[in-house]
Amino acid sequence: MSADPLLRTDASPSGERSVPDPHRWLEEVSGDEALAWVRARNDEAHAALGGGDLDATEAALREVLDSDDRIPDVSRIGDHLYNFWRDTEHERGLWRRTSLDSYRTDDPRWETVLDLDELAAAEDESWVWHGASVLRPAPEQLAAGEPWRRALVDLSPGGSDADVTREFDLVEKRFVPASEGGFHRPLAKGGLSWADEDTVYVFTDFGPGTTTPSGYPRIVKLWRRGTPLEDARTVYEGTDEDMYIMGRRSRTPGFERDVVRRSIAFYRSETYLVNAVGTPEQELVRIDAPESAEVGLHREWLLVELREDWTVAGRTYAGGSLLAAAADDFLAGSRDLTVLFAPTPSTSLVGATWTRHHLVLNVLDDVKNELHVLTPPDLEAGADTADGWVRSELPVDGELLTVGVRAVSPVDSDDVWVTSSGYLSPSTLALATVVGPGTDPAAPEPLKSAPAFFDASGMVAEQHFATSDDGTRVPYFVVGAAELVRPSDPAAPGAAPTLLYGYGGFEIPLLPGYSGTAGRAWLARGGVHVVANIRGGGEYGPRWHQAALRENRHRAYEDLAAVARDLVARGITTHEHLGVQGGSNGGLLAGNMLTQYPDLFGAVVIQVPLLDMQRYSHLLAGASWVAEYGDPDVPEDWEFLQTFSPYHLFDADREYPPVLLTTSTKDDRVHPGHARKMAAKMLAAGQDVTYYENIEGGHGGAANNAQAAHMSALAWTFLRARLA
């Protein structure tokens, strides 16, 4: 047998030879033969979809993505508000800053901190911004008026998950070279995080045997300025089977803590406090919470968010609950826990944000937002945990809006950024101050409002429920012209081109939000847009997610099929005019709609997808998703995995709706071989398949606004052509 790792045959999980895979060679991401195949398919896609409609759509979408009227998303760092911005003139983007007073104006004065286009040109590298972390100065430094100076900037070549980290000086606005002691992490999956101004936590690829099966870091070390990376001192080393290891330091004055997080798998982790870090006396103390729980620390408080029921100290707490305890008491053995949130059949917790003195809970009730403020007892002032947490409200206005709350600075402020967005309501940003009970809150200060990028007059957004095969009620949102969304005679089949979008995985909820691109390319041109809140997502908390894990994955697909049928039953559309779209895990969803429910759809768009569920765990980051899907190398798991593996479910003798498959060569999370092999298999069977692969872009599919507009325009043009 050949030792070629791209051998064009497959083996079953039991080790027996199975049906040969003639397309396995397409897994060679940068192979000459594979890329020649990609270029040929891209040419065919442009030949099929190119022309005036594609060009006009792309131009319209580019206007939205590059608009100067978009709301600049900001973070407060010292006396400045920082923002990362892309537009026509700055394709790769600017990291820039302004003051709050200037930001309040219609035309803020921005100071450029780092120009990625200039950097990319100077270094001949297609840098894509991955973010930055800034070191908070020590209290004595802040008291002396010293500026926030030290940043760690993450940059990716072409948009891959693998990136580099380089130290940046915010005062001199330059990278600190290694010759001056600057921290530089070579290209890998991982990162750096600040411990102090001369020390960082480093978790990265240190060489053979130091990464997990998913390619993520297995070891976290403490690295001191001016020393070689190979001399960094190990703080924690995970096992060969772990998913990700990282470390960080909380620098809240008076509550400085070193923390190591060991991700065993998705939904399983351990959190350790590190005492005397980096010394011979170093000690790791595990926080004794369930592996499936999320653990957080803020000042004197410990929060535990449960995914599963937890019985402790004679009491059982329901999965989906949020619990609080005094951190020192908990570490000393007390299990005196306060329930801050407990789920109901219609509610779930989707976010919790600390300010200096309060905790803001973001709750969904049938996928609609509610915000609650909880004020803890002041332990520093001598209060007792038995004094209880006091609840007040942060009002949310508007129908079918998603409201987000983010602390401006949880260390020293009770201010929050409040964003809101709806399917037909452009985004807004306000600044609010959270107050406790007994104090009337001031009205949030409106700061920015995004423009309307399409004419929504006469359009409506509604929520409906479909009934899945097992009787479960599945919510979904419908957006479009009123006469299409509310047909006068539901018994008469509608013909509105309708796009159904879903995800259904990893406990991620799909919430209402404004999309100028979807509005321009679809809604304003007579289309109906539908978003389904199927099981596998997080719309109803962990239980909704867990209902579609592993051998129960079929429930997510049954849910989406139920929504598709309900749209037809309501007279909104017909199956011939109904399309379905999904990306990543949603690409697996769309792939299963294609192979299991082809009669329900007139077109299918599959983006950056998983499709070969026998190979997925051996490709790039795939091993990290075994908790979600199952392990194809375990015969018992393969029994159910093959029932939702589109690559194996495809039947060359069956008729399928037209398909658009897109991916990215630079995607180092979901291997582009999934999309390539599925397209090749379908093309060999004479199916109607359009394939496009962007050379850059990573898992997001695009590295800049121009690429994003092009990729999106291809999808909308394909859908209009197939569903009109």
Query: What token pair was written down for 671?
Result: 């291997």
- The CB density around residue 471, as the number of other CB atoms within 10 Å, is 6
Q: Judge whether 504 and 536 are in contact, CB under 8 Å.
A: yes
Residue 80 among the catalytic residues: no
Q: Judge whether 627 and 266 are in contact, CB under 8 Å.
A: yes
Catalytic residue among 214, 263, 468, 584: 584
The residue among 333, 336, 337, 311 whose CA lies nearest residue 324 is 337
Give strand ranges (E) for 434-553.
445-449, 459-467, 473-481, 498-501, 528-532
Query: What token pair was written down for 139?
Result: 């209290």
Catalytic residue among 648, 671, 674, 699: 699
Give the separation between CA 432 and CA 371, rounded to whole angstroms: 13
User: Which of left, alpha, beta for 683 (phi over 0: left; psi -120 to 50: alpha)?
Assistant: alpha
- The CB density around residue 460, as the number of other CB atoms within 10 Å, is 17
How far lies 274's CA from each of 137, 284, 289, in Å? 21, 5, 16
Give the separation between CA 486 and CA 381, rounded to whole angstroms: 58
Q: Judge whether 161 and 187 are in contact, CB under 8 Å.
A: no
Give the separation between CA 432 and CA 420, rounded to whole angstroms: 13
Residue 664 among the catalytic residues: no
Beta strands at 528-532 and 498-501: parallel, antiparallel or unpaired = parallel
Checking 295-298 for CB contacts under 8 A at 24+ apart, the result is 295/271, 296/352, 297/250, 297/255, 297/257, 297/259, 297/327, 298/252, 298/354, 298/359, 298/410
In the block, tokens 């002396």 appear at 144
Give the separation between CA 178 and CA 201, rounded to whole angstroms: 17
The residue among 419, 444, 441 whose CA lies nearest residue 432 is 444
The residue among 418, 421, 431, 416 whose CA lies nearest residue 399 is 421
Give the separation between CA 132 and CA 95, rounded to whole angstroms: 10
**Positions marked active-site:** 584, 699
